[in-house]
Amino acid sequence: MSKKLWGGRFKKKIDKDFEEFSKSVQYDYKLAEYDIYHSIIHVSTLAASKILTPQEAQKLISVLSGILKEIRAGKFKYDPACEDIHSDIQNRVEKKVGELALKLHSLRSRNDQIVFDEKWYCLDQGIDIGKIVTALGIAVVEKAAKSGKDFFIGYTHTQRAQIISFSDYLYAWAEIFLKDCKRLNDFCEGLELVIGAGALTGTALKKEAYQKAAEQFLRADKIKKSWSVLNNALFTISDRDFIVEFLSILSLIQMHLSRMAEDFILYSTKEFDFFDLPEEFCTGSSLMPHKKNPDFLELVRGLTGKIYGNLMAILTTMKGLPLTYNRDMQLDKEPLFSSVETVKEELKIMAKFVKGIKLKKENIKEALKDEQLYATEIAEFLVTKKKVAFKEAHDVVGKLIRYSEDKKKKIEDMDDLVLKTFHPVLKAGDLKKIMTPKYAIDSKKSVSRALPKLKKK
């Protein structure tokens, strides 16, 4: 059993099974770096408040900085015997400086440490995920730039709707990811980093001392983030809304990835046959020799259950919790880490996947022969150029399509005499001009087609 940060009032030893059951070090070790930040700022505040001598503070900070170096080099191995990461670091410091370490935790609570650590984690991960989403957006934009004048089919209700350019299709995704980046950015900017909330009511140390130590630490570590004033300690200790917010953004990103995966799966089926998927992200069947299955995309789609589940887990854990800290809140970490790690992995692979997609141009060309894809353009032509009322134009074109289907006769083979029976202004010459992919796209004047501004960070 390792040393604990509490115990004086207990007569009995902790039950072994319960001790294991209640441990969090096996996952909260991921917060080690931020816990050291807390300790360094705290030690400086204690020194400024004359609770530690400058020499004592110096000694503690030097040991803490040594552990920080180890963590940043990826060499830190948590001690599974410890209750949590706070106790682990405390014990390490004690091993190095002996009795002096007993002063490290003066006027401080793990309740303050944990919320501090988690905010830092969210901040770092928010910035990092922003970069990865940007990289995916850029991969999509580069693909769009290379697709030139390739046409594609736009769907509503998974039914053929209108002709689009393939680049517009891809830019839609870039636009979606750009919005995700903005959400992450706003989230990171809105995170309020505070310290000194104690167990729930604040501490005897002055807020100015905390403030000064924190700002000094940020400057020394070149961390671009401003410090916030601690207004209400009860709120700070109780607050896990930022985790719910972060997991909501990650859920949105997941939803986008899942929709993208679904599109790609559909377009790669023999039924659509528009996409050739990159083989290195597909798998075969152990029985059916012909199969090339889109497993990566299916896993992305399937992982939505986990990512939404993580958000629901935290929302449900927090529901009905009385102010302020409750041990239930320890359970916020695994869902948080799980969503962060999973979404990052998915985004990284999706960027490579997008680059590898090949458009089956011949098949698209064939599909574009479907005259029904131009029905809307014909109706719009009647309205804008022939001043027919839209309701009437809609009806006329609807009947024309129906006739073409029933008689198995192509519209392009109908002469003026036949067309006249639907509407006196319908002319074969006009229809020939309208029923081309280029016309369909050029006739859309309401869209600026400004390119999404995704910049590498």
**CA–CA separation, 157 vs 134, rounded Å?**
29
Tokens of 76: 């830190």
**Interacting residue ranges for ligand ARG, rule: CB under 6 A:** 24, 28, 84, 110-111, 114, 325, 327, 329-330
Q: For residue 381, what are the contacts with CB-CB under 8 A and spacing of at least 6?
A: 430, 434, 443
CA 364 to chain centre: 32
C-beta of 145 vs 321, nearer to ligand ARG: 321
The secondary structure element, H or E, covering residue 162 is strand 159-165
The secondary structure element, H or E, covering residue 155 is strand 151-156
**CA–CA separation, 188 vs 191, rounded Å?**
5
C-beta of 242 vs 296, nearer to ligand ARG: 242
Collapsing DSSP to helix, strand or coil, 59 comes out as: helix
CB 156, min distance to ligand ARG, A: 47
C-beta of 243 vs 411, nearer to ligand ARG: 243
**CA–CA separation, 367 vs 389, rounded Å?**
30
Nearest Cα residue to 296 out of 314, 273, 277, 311: 277
CB 5, min distance to ligand ARG, A: 9
CB 66, min distance to ligand ARG, A: 24
CB 112, min distance to ligand ARG, A: 9
Out of 157, 286, 290, 448, pick the active-site residue.
157
Out of 2, 22, 285, 443, pick the active-site residue.
285
Q: Is 226 a catalytic residue?
A: no
- Amino acid symbol at 277: L
C-beta of 114 vs 197, nearer to ligand ARG: 114
Q: Is 423 a catalytic residue?
A: no
The secondary structure element, H or E, covering residue 359 is strand 358-359
Do residues 199 and 237 make contact, with C-beta atoms less than 8 angstroms apart?
yes
CB 332, min distance to ligand ARG, A: 7
C-beta of 59 vs 110, nearer to ligand ARG: 110
Which residues belong to the active site? 157, 285
